[in-house]
């Protein structure tokens, strides 16, 4: 067949101007703008408000410290997450190849970016298809696993479509370009990646907690102003006190604590072969309750194997496999041929094979491959191909329809084997092929289910194959086609365990549907077709064999085969959640205790029980010191973790009430019996709040008795250093009135003993409210 003439250079230039380059547009964002974006969100807003309030109070040093903390938060977040935005650049690199194109009636090489619809290009074995095209001439075998998720190669001849990004495994062909750039199947996936937006729950949770705390403080400030107006107390004295009270309610160290905790978690995961590209995904993984996982290369080994042999009398299994291997050619690198040859090698059959005199590779039109070999009485033919096609060639062949259907329903690809002389062929038997599940897949599914995570399978393979693999790895058997996602995406999540024949947008729709239904969704995958869903999911995980595009779109990247490390990621994230729960509970308790104690103390006694300066100092000694919680030892829960802010507020309020009782008792007892001056009394109450604040960390770090597990060395060290520092300031009169050492030591013992008693009440409160 004569080669098509193709386009002229002038016509190609005209179409290039019309359609644009054959490339995926990259959304470029200035690095400075991207960094400043880290300062525009609910959590940074809280720190920025705190800075403004500190400046209003004439405290530039404290404002500078908080500003430094804000910048550190942004730098950590920017550095950790910048890699997650490389997906579009990698997609563009995938298209940055050279193409053999016919222009001006001669073949030449041009950059793939210069291809236009109507160009005639030639593909050879090993090439990456640079655009969508329709084949004009020739035959090729395509590997489209990274695009469609199908594990088996696809044969394509004249008139067939080839997608951009497909790998040519065998053969040569000429085709006409039908689509370029974002109009290709590959480019459409890139668009989905660009529009995907990960849902983050952490910022809104923190903001909700602060909203409760600030609302309480606003009420207390209003009460203070009303008290000042009623008693004639100068507003000039009350205003700074009220403002510093609001500052104390803003958890200035909370974002930094979350960042440090997740960064330490990312480091621990990296040691286990899990790379984190988006820090917030670690916290989100703690709440993940549904994991949608790809099949090919994720739950399965992504390589074909002989699963079953069904001989037809008088032949046996070994004869079926020997003749099947004879009709294979290792040089073609055909996955089916390689699997059969591996199976024959395992049974030591290859050494018994005769030398072939002629070999005809698999032809999509005849649906068979053939080997001719010498034998007694002349040459014989060994044939391998589609089961029904091969059976139809044989004399007296059995009806294989029922057996083929049975094997196909089990997820196998079935081949027929025949042997004979000339046209007198005998049916030898069937060979069932399968991409086998990974040995660890079933255990993985069981481990995730034990952690309260429902596992779904999404695959580009057919229903029968998907259902069979799902049954083998322990998933449910409710299998659905992709059409249920297209028809029901707006009405909810279909009640299916397996979704087959899915396209990239179907996986994307599934993740969005899960998120709309209130689930925290995880997604695992390895191909270009998985990239949009990986980026959309709260915990998108790319497996070790994933394409660069999938890895850049994911928030977690595995470096070891299989999904075993996903379990480690979930457990690590839940440990981090427990640490953050400890910090948050401690902050709620201390804010309630400090705000109520300071406000009621002023209204009950007419004096400031703690000075504004000591409140600022308390902010640093409590909030910043307790950042060491990020290093604490913590167990993980057996169910997905969710933030129940109202429950935390109630639980924190109950414990804060106990501490308030102690604070007021110490204040009135010291004023009545110890003969302290007001400045000394204020120092004593400052120490009281610091000691109880540090003790509360240990009180709430476990839902059981606090002495039943050991805290981290760093947490203990920081607590001891904090107590020693404020104790030294108090005894030496630095930044506060001096008090005797014996009084400081006695107060520390009193607070410690009291918290042991509160611990028993804590267990009852946590159990009643369901705090876990």
Q: Which residues lie closer than 8 Å to 547 by C-beta, 6 or more apart?
A: 146, 526, 527, 528, 531
Q: Phi/psi at 295 (nearest 5 deg)? A: -90, -60
* C-alpha distances in Å from residue 380, one per residue of 355, 363, 430, 480: 12, 20, 19, 46
Nearest to 335 by CA among 409, 431, 405, 434: 434
Between CA 526 and CA 145 the distance in angstroms is: 9
| Catalytic residue selected from 127, 217, 289, 294 | 294
- Residue of 663, 658, 678 whose CA lies nearest to 599: 663
The residue whose two tokens read 């059976």 is 391
d(CA 555, CA 563): 15
CB 618 within 8 A of CB 717: no
**Contact by Cβ (8 Å): 724, 731:** no
Straight-line distance from the first to the last Cα atom of the chain, in angstroms, rounded to the nearest whole number: 73
- Burial grade of 262 (CB within 10 A; 0-12, 13-18, 19 or more): buried
Continuous segment of H or E residues that includes residue 225: helix 202-231
Annotation says 294 is catalytic: yes
How would you list the strands of the sheet with 521-525, edge to edge?
274-276, 556-558, 539-542, 521-525, 290-294, 454-458, 498-500, 479-481
**Cα–Cα nearest to 538, from 147, 108, 201, 114:** 201
Least Cα distance to 660 among 601, 574, 740 occurs for 601
Residue with tokens 């660890």: 440
**Closest residue by Cα to residue 464 from 439, 414, 507, 500:** 500
Residues noted as catalytic: 294
């Amino acid at each position: 067949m004569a080669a098509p003439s193709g386009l002229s250079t002038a016509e190609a230039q005209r179409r290039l101007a019309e359609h644009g380059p054959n490339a995926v547009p990259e959304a470029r964002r200035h690095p400075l703008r991207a960094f400043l974006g880290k300062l525009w969100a609910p959590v940074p807003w809280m720190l920025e408000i705190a800075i403004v309030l500190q400046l209003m109070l004439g405290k530039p040093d404290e404002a500078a410290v908080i500003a430094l903390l804000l910048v550190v938060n942004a730098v950590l977040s920017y550095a950790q997450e910048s890699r997650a935005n490389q997906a579009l650049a990698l997609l563009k690199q995938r298209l940055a190849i050279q193409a053999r194109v016919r222009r001006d009636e001669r073949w030449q090489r041009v950059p793939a970016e210069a291809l236009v619809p109507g160009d005639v290009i030639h593909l050879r074995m090993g090439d990456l298809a640079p655009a969508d095209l329709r084949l004009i001439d020739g035959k090729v075998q395509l590997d489209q696993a990274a695009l469609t998720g199908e594990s088996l190669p696809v044969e394509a001849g004249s008139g067939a479509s080839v997608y951009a990004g497909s790998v040519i495994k065998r053969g040569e062909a000429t085709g006409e370009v039908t689509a370029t750039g974002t109009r290709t199947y590959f480019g459409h996936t890139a668009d989905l990646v660009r529009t995907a937006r990960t849902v983050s729950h952490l910022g809104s949770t923190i903001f909700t907690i602060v909203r409760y705390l600030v609302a309480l403080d606003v009420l207390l400030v209003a009460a203070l102003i009303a008290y000042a107006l009623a008693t004639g107390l100068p507003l000039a004295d009350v205003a700074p006190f009220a403002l510093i009270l609001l500052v104390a309610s803003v958890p200035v160290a909370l974002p930094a604590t979350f960042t440090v905790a997740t960064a330490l978690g990312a480091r621990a995961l990296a040691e286990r072969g899990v790379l984190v590209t988006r820090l917030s995904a670690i916290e989100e993984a703690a709440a993940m309750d549904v994991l949608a996982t790809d099949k090919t290369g994720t739950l399965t080994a992504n390589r074909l194997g002989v699963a079953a042999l069904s001989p037809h009398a008088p032949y046996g299994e070994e004869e079926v496999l020997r003749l099947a291997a004879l009709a294979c050619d290792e040089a073609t690198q055909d996955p089916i041929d390689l699997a059969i040859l591996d199976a024959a090698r395992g049974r030591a059959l290859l050494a018994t094979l005769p030398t072939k005199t002629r070999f005809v590779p698999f032809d999509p039109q005849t649906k068979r491959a053939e080997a001719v070999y010498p034998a007694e009485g002349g040459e014989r033919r060994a044939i391998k191909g589609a089961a029904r096609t091969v059976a139809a060639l044989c004399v007296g062949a059995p009806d294989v329809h029922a057996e083929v259907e049975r094997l196909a329903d089990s997820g196998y690809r079935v081949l027929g084997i025949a042997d004979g002389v000339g046209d007198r062929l005998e049916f030898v038997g069937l060979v069932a092929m399968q991409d086998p599940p990974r040995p660890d897949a079933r255990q993985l599914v069981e481990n995730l289910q034990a952690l309260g995570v429902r596992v779904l399978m999404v695959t580009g393979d057919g229903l029968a194959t998907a259902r069979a693999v799902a049954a083998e790895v322990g998933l449910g058997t409710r299998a659905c086609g992709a059409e249920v996602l297209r028809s029901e995406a707006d009405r909810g999540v279909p009640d299916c365990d397996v979704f087959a024949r899915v396209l990239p947008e179907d996986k994307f729709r599934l993740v969005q549907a899960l998120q709309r239904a209130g689930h925290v969704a995880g997604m695992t995958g390895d191909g270009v077709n998985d990239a949009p869903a990986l980026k959309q999911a709260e915990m998108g995980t790319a497996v070790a064999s994933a394409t660069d595009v999938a890895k850049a779109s994911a928030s977690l990247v595995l470096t070891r085969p299989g999904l075993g490390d996903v379990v480690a990621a979930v457990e690590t994230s839940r440990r981090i959640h427990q640490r953050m729960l400890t910090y948050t509970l401690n902050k709620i308790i201390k804010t309630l205790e400090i705000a109520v104690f300071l406000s009621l103390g002023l209204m009950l006694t007419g004096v400031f029980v703690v000075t504004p300066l000591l409140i600022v100092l308390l902010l640093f000694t409590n909030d910043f010191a307790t950042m060491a919680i990020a290093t604490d030892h913590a167990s993980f829960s057996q169910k997905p973790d969710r933030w129940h802010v109202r429950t935390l507020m109630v639980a924190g309020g109950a414990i804060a009430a106990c501490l308030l009782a102690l604070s007021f008792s110490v204040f009135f007892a010291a004023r009545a019996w110890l003969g302290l001056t007001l400045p000394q009394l204020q120092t004593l109450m400052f120490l009281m709040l610091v000691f109880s604040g540090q003790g509360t960390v240990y009180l709430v770090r476990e839902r059981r008795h606090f002495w039943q597990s050991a805290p981290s060395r760093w947490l203990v060290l920081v607590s001891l250093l904090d107590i020693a520092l404020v104790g030294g300031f108090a005894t030496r009169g630095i930044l506060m009135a001096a008090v005797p050492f014996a009084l400081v030591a006695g107060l520390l013992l009193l607070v410690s003993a009291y918290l042991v008693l509160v611990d028993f009440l804590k267990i009852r409160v946590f159990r009643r409210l369901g705090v876990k």
